Amino acid sequence: MNPAGSIWNTLREIVDPELGCNIVDLGLIRSMTQSGTTVRVEMTLTSPGCPLGSALESAVESALLGLPGVEAVEVRLVFEPPWSIAEVSPAARAQLGIPVAMPSAGSATTLTRSAAS
């Protein structure tokens, strides 16, 4: 079993090459669960037709398979609810220049992530 914190930190090393922010702070990882040596990740994209989708999906698989104790990775792309600004962390907001007045995080998925990390 791998500590959840190290899995989240590994995911944080994956940076969206266009936006320059990591995919966790961008709110693209909806949830992560681990059972035995299998890690299941639910992720989304900033828009359903995002051309980087396949690369990011593959990056998550590759990065997690590099962790000790992880034998299988299951990545599921979800678009409901659609990605929104509410899922972006304060650090990524500052990097993207998103105004503070925009709605802030508070959804169940974000809580899952916070609790896990």
Residue partners of 74: CB distance under 8 A and separation at least 6: 38, 39, 40, 41
Q: Which CB atom, from 53 or from 112, has the smaller least distance to another protein?
A: 53
Query: Min. distance of Cβ 39 from another protein in angstroms?
Result: 10
Query: Min. distance of Cβ 13 from another protein in angstroms?
Result: 5
Query: Min. distance of Cβ 27 from another protein in angstroms?
Result: 11
Q: Rounded distance, CA 2 to CA 40, Å? A: 13
Beta carbons within 10 angstroms of residue 9's beta carbon: 14
In DSSP terms, which residues pair with 93 in a beta bridge? none
Q: Which CB atom, from 75 or from 116, has the smaller least distance to another protein?
A: 75
Question: What are the start-end ranges of the E strands in 52-104?
Answer: 72-77
Interface residues with another protein (CB under 8 A)?
6, 9-10, 12-15, 17-20, 38, 40, 46-47, 49-68, 70-78, 85, 88, 96-99, 102
